[in-house]
Amino acid sequence: MDHVIRPVKRSDLDAINRIYNREIREGTATWHTDEWSAPERLDWFLSHTESDAQPIFVCVQKEDTMEERLLGFSYLTNYRGSRGGFKYTRESTVYVDPEYQRKGVGKQLLTHSIKAARCLKLHVLIAWIDSSNIGSILLHESLNFERIGLEPETGYKFGEWRSNTEMSLLLDFETHDKS
């Protein structure tokens, strides 16, 4: 598969919404129940790209027409506002088009996000994963995330209570910031 990981572009937003909204309708990787509109996705994009502290990456495949097909995306989000003591922590998120799951796309995206976190001199990444999503849990474990908690029945979707597995990756950076 000829594909590349690159920073997000505004032109990627429709494809990102296609993947994410399908997950809202059919999956449990997100517990959102209302699909995102184009203006909501644009606001999300702008809030992440106003600084380098919340990077978004996409995995794209070159099509025969030289157009790109977006296979998945990953991003880092401020953790609890990243104010004060939380400024060295980000939430890490990955979504992959179902057609390309279990083909290495998610691992490449998550690896790219981890490298970006290290460049940002972050100390920890947090991931919240639906406890039934064994593939995502194993993906995170393969990149040294550890299970640090279980939030039983904290979500409700598709007529049943959902539990959440919290995972953490301690990065190599240690701050000497006195603030």
Mutual orientation of helices 13-26 and 38-49 as an angle, nearest 10°? 120
Q: Which residues contact 121 (CB under 8 A, 6 or more apart)?
A: 88, 173, 175
Distance of CA 64 to the CA centre of its chain: 28
Is 115 part of a structural domain of the chain? yes
**Structural domain total, the chain:** 1
One pLDDT digit (tens) per residue for the chain, 179 residues:
578 999 999 999 999 999 999 999 999 999 999 999 999 999 999 999 888 889 999 999 987 767 889 999 999 999 887 678 899 999 999 999 999 999 999 999 999 999 999 999 999 999 999 999 999 999 999 999 999 999 999 999 999 999 999 999 999 765 555 44
CATH code: domain of residue 144? 3.40.630.30
The pLDDT, as a whole number, for residue 1 is 55
Is 54 part of a structural domain of the chain? yes
Is 104 part of a structural domain of the chain? yes
The pLDDT, as a whole number, for residue 6 is 95
Distance (Å, whole) CA 57 – CA 74: 5
Strand partners, 166: 128, 149
Q: What is the CA radius of gyration of the chain?
A: 16
Residue-wise pLDDT tens digits, 117-146: 999 999 999 999 999 999 999 999 999 999
The pLDDT, as a whole number, for residue 174 is 58
In the sheet with 89-96, reading across from the earlier edge strand, the strands are: 3-7, 56-62, 68-78, 89-96, 124-130, 160-170, 146-157
Q: Give alpha helix (H) positions in the chain.
A: 13-26, 38-49, 105-119, 134-142
Distance (Å, whole) CA 9 – CA 72: 13
Is 121 part of a structural domain of the chain? yes
Its domain, for residue 119, covers: 3-170
The pLDDT, as a whole number, for residue 160 is 96
DSSP secondary structure code for residue 35 in this structure: P
Residue-wise pLDDT tens digits, 98-118: 999 999 999 999 999 999 999
Is 175 part of a structural domain of the chain? no
DSSP secondary structure code for residue 103 in this structure: T
Distance (Å, whole) CA 57 – CA 76: 9
Is 83 part of a structural domain of the chain? yes
Is 53 part of a structural domain of the chain? yes
